[in-house]
Structure 1
Amino acid sequence: MAHAGNGSEVDVVERIAQTILDERDELVRHLSTEIRARVRVLGQDARLRELADASTSDNVSAVLEFLRNGADEAEVRAPERALTSARALARNDIPASALIRAYRIGQTGFLDVAMRYAVEFGGADTAAVIMRIVHRTSTYIDQVCEQVGVAHEQEHERWVGSRGGLRQRWVNRLLDGAAVDIGEAERALQYPLTGHHLAATAWTDPQVGTATAADVLDQLRTALAGLFGRVHRTLLVPVDEHEARLWFSVPRAITVDARAIERVLAERELPVRMAISGCAAGVTGFRQAAGQAARARRIAQLGGPGGERVISYADVAATALMAGDIETLREFVAEQLGALAVDNQRNLWLRDTLRVFLARNNSYAAAAQELAVHRNTVQYRVRQALNLVGSHHTQDGDLHLRLALQATHRLGAAVLLPDAAHR
C-alpha cells in the first residue's frame, strides 16, 4: 500500500524530488563513480560500465517519479535498461550479489542527497518528510532488486547451459590472464590461439530489434571474413542482445582499412557500428587485440551516435589513451585550443580545416583538395583558427595542437567547452 502522508509533507517531498531532478545528471555521475569504485567488478568492461550507467540513470528518474506520484508499490517496475544490465552481468558470470550491492550503494548515495534537502525544506515536517522519503525509496529499491535479481537468475541459467555461455567463460579466463590449457581452450572455442588475431566489438543500431540483431552480427562476421582474405577461423561471443565481440584468426599481420569496412557495411546495408583492433600474435595478442577494440569502442561511445560507422584503433590510438581520463583531456583541449575549444558550428569548420592543414604538412593546396574548398578558403580559416588558438610555433606545441584537434574531431562535445550563447 502507498503511504499517503499529509498534504504539507507530500508537497515538501515533491519539492525535494523536483530539486534533485533538476540536478539529476550530476547525481547520476556521482552515483555511477561511487558504484564502480566500490563494486570494482562492474567497472572492468566498457560495455558493462555503459549498461550500468544507463541503469543508474533510469533508476534515479524512476525513483524520483515514485516519490512524486504516490503510486502503489505493486506498480513499481524495473526500468528496461536495468533489466538489460542485469542480464548482461549474468552472461559475464558476475554474481547477483554484486548487482544488489550496487543498488544498495546507489540507494545510500541517493538518500544522502535527499536527506540534506529534507532538512533544508522540511521545517516542522522534517521528521515526517524523512520517514516518507526513506519508506518510498526503500520500497522502490526492494521491488526493483527483486525484479532484476530474477532477470539475472533466469539469464544465468539459460546462458550457462548454452554454447555461447561456454565460449564466454573461456574467453573471460583468457582475457583475465588466468592459467589455462591452451589446447583445451582452442578445442572449446573452436578457434586457434596461435598465429595472428584481429579483434572487434560490434553493436547494432538502436532501431534493430533483438530478434534481428543476432542475424545482423552474424552477417557482419561473414562479411569481414571475406574482406580480410584467408581467415582461418572466426569467434563471435555476444555481450548482450545488441553487441558482440569478434576475433578473426588471420595467417599474417594485415593492416586494417576502416574505410574499406565501411564500404562493406554500406553495400550489405548492415545497420551496425564497430570498433576494430590492429593485428597481434599469440595468446597475448588475443588479449591485446581485445583491449584495443575496447578502447576504440570507448571513443565511439564518447563521440556519440553521429560518429563514424567504423573506428580503427590504429586511427585513434593516441586519443584512446588520453580518453582514459576524460576530465584531464578536456582541460588539455581547452589549454591548447583556447577560444577554438568552444563548441559551435563556426569553430567546428575552423578546427577541421586546421586539423587537415597540419596533417597535410601545412600544405594549403593539399588541405583544399581534401576538404573540397578553395585554397584561399583554407588560408582564411587557418588564419582565423590560429588567431583563436593564440598560435603554437614550437615543435612540442605543434604536436600538442594536433593531439587536441584530433581529440575534438573524434570526441566532439565530450571534450569541448559549451558555447555561452547556448548554455
Structure 2
Amino acid sequence: MPHWTHELAGTRARQSEREWLSPDADRIRSTLGDGAVTWAVEVGEDIATRISREMPILREGASQPSAVRRATTSTALRALTLVAGLGEPDTSLASAEVEEVAVDFARRGLELNDLLGSIRVGYAVLAAAILDAALRLIPPAESSAELRRVSVLLFEVLDQFTGVAATTFLEERSAWAAGVSAARLDFVKKIVEAEPVDPSRADEVLGYPLGGHHLAIIAWSGPHAGHDLRSIVDPVLRHWGIPTATLVIPVGLQTIWAWGAVSPDQGHVLREPLPEFGDISVVVGQLGSGVDGFRRSHMEARAVERIVRLRADQPRTTCTHEDFALEVLLLAEPDAAAGFASRLLGPLADDDARTADLRSTLIRYLDMDHSLAKVAAAEHISKNTVTYRVHKALSLCEHPPGASTTNLRAALRVHEWLRGGTTSRPDA
C-alpha cells in the first residue's frame, strides 16, 4: 500500500524555484510525485514567512530572504524524505543551504540566540504542516500509530539539526572575528548606531578618512550573480566625481556596504541615470559631511534598500535616495501606506492592463502640470484619449472635481512602487 505521503499536493502552479531546488526534490519527485515537491516548497515558503514575521531583527541585517527560503525549503524536503523513508536512516535534516544561512548570520554580527530562535519558529511550522497532512491523509484507524512515529522522528532529528547549525555559526564567527572585515564592520556599526568613536582610530581600523564628504552605497546580489559586488563601487561613485578614498565592507555572503569620499562641489551636478548592473541591486544615499554625514548617507541608503525589498518580484535595480526620498517617507510604514493607497484609489488600483493604462496616463498628467499636449506627446496618443483616460481614472477613484490632488498623487506613487513599477528617476 502506498505511503500516505504519495497523496501530498500543493495548491499553486510550479514556479522558478525548480532552478535552485536541492537533489532531494528530484528523489521526492521520482518517488512521491510532483505534488509532494510542490507541497514541500509551499511549506518552506510558509516557514520563511513566519520567521520573518516573528523575528523582526532578521528583516534587516540577516540573510537574504531568498537564501532563507532556500534553506527552509531544503529542510522541508529533507524532512519529507525522512518521514517517507526515502533516504538513509542516518540522513541529516541539515543541508548545505542551512549551513550557508548559519554562516551568513555569523558574518552579519547576529547572535547565536537569533539563529536558534529562527530554528524554533521554523521547526514549529514544519512539524505542524507534516502532522496536519498526516492527520488529513491517513485513515483514522491507522493515524494514531503513524502520528506517534512521525512525532518521535521529528523530535529525534531536531537536536542534530540544531547542533549542525549552531556549530557552523560558532566556527564561522570565530574565524570572522579575527579578520579585518569584522573589525571594520564592528567599527562602522558603532558609527551607524551613533556611538562615540575616536576619529583618529578610523584611519587605523577603516583605512578611510571620516573627516571628508561621504556617499554611501549598499549593493546586493542573488546566489549566482555574475558580477563581483566590489566592482560596482567605483562606477557608481564616478557619477558624483572621482573618489579620493573608498571603503568596502562585506556584510554577509551577498551584500556589501560601501562609502566613497567625494568632493562636495561635485555632489550637485546634473547626473545621467545610474547604470544597471545586471543581477546586482544598488542603492545610494545622499552626500554627507563628517561622521554625521557618513552615518546619514548610509541610513538613507538603508531606507531605499528597505523599500526596494518591499516590491513584489523586484528585478535588480539601481536607485538613489535623492530620486526616491518621497517614496522612502511614504513607505516608512508599508502596511499603512498600502492601506492608504487602496482606500484612495479604489477600483483604480486593479491589476488589469486597461486600468494600468489609466493610472499611467493620470500619473503623467499630474506630473506634467495637467498639460494634455505634453502627456499626448509622451504617450503617443491623442489629446482626446488623454482627456478620456484622465476623466475615467478620476471617476474610478471617485476624486472630487476641483479637489487637491496631493493625496491622490501620493497614493499613486505608493501603489506604483509596491506593484513593481519602474525605478527610473521620476523626472527622467
Q: 3-state SS of the aligned residue for 2:347? A: helix
Q: Is the 8 A contact 1:48 1:89 kept in 2?
A: no
Q: Is the 8 A contact 1:258 1:310 kept in 2?
A: no
Structure-1 residue corresponding to 2:18: none
1:99-126 C-alpha deviation (Å, 9 max, x unpaired): 1232123223443555566666663444
| CA distance in structure 1 between the partners assigned to 2:5 and 2:188 by the alignment | 52
Q: Is the 8 A contact 1:300 1:311 kept in 2?
A: no
| CA distance in structure 2 between the partners assigned to 1:156 and 1:22 by the alignment | 30
> TM-score by structure 2 length?
0.78
Which 5+ residue runs of structure 2 have no aligned equivalent?
11-35, 422-428
| CA distance in structure 1 between the partners assigned to 2:79 and 2:108 by the alignment | 27
| CA distance in structure 1 between the partners assigned to 2:144 and 2:362 by the alignment | 60
Q: Mark the CA change 1:207 to 1:101 in structure 2 (over 3 Å): closer, same or farther.
A: closer
Q: Is the 8 A contact 1:92 1:169 kept in 2?
A: no
> TM-score by structure 1 length?
0.79
Q: How does 1:43-192 map to 2 (within 5 A)?
A: 43-45=59-61, 51-52=67-68, 55-60=71-76, 62-64=78-80, 66-68=82-84, 70-76=86-92, 78-112=94-128, 123-192=140-209
| CA distance in structure 1 between the partners assigned to 2:212 and 2:84 by the alignment | 59
**Larger helix percent:** 1
Which 5+ residue runs of structure 1 have no aligned equivalent?
1-6, 415-423
Structure-2 residue corresponding to 1:250: 262
Q: How does 1:252-291 map to 2 (within 5 A)?
A: 252=264, 254-255=267-268, 259-262=272-275, 265=276, 271-291=279-299
1:298 is aligned to 2:314: no
Question: What is the RMSD computed on CA atoms of the aligned residues?
Answer: 3.4
Q: Mark the CA change 1:359 to 1:260 in structure 2 (over 3 Å): closer, same or farther.
A: same
Q: Among the aligned pairs, what percent are the same residue? A: 23
Q: Mark the CA change 1:109 to 1:322 in structure 2 (over 3 Å): closer, same or farther.
A: farther
Q: Is the 8 A contact 1:13 1:133 kept in 2?
A: no
Q: Is the 8 A contact 1:365 1:375 kept in 2?
A: yes
Q: Mark the CA change 1:81 to 1:305 in structure 2 (over 3 Å): closer, same or farther.
A: farther
Pairwise CA distance, 1:181? 1.8
Q: How does 1:232-381 map to 2 (within 5 A)?
A: 232-252=244-264, 254-255=267-268, 259-262=272-275, 265=276, 271-304=279-312, 307=315, 309-381=317-389
1:221 is aligned to 2:233: yes
Q: Is the 8 A contact 2:74 2:97 kept in 1?
A: yes
Structure-1 residue corresponding to 2:4: 11
Q: Mark the CA change 1:57 to 1:348 in structure 2 (over 3 Å): closer, same or farther.
A: farther
Structure-1 residue corresponding to 2:406: 399
Q: 3-state SS of the aligned residue for 1:275? A: strand
Q: Is the 8 A contact 2:217 2:282 kept in 1?
A: yes
Q: Mark the CA change 1:370 to 1:11 in structure 2 (over 3 Å): closer, same or farther.
A: same
Q: How many residues align?
A: 392
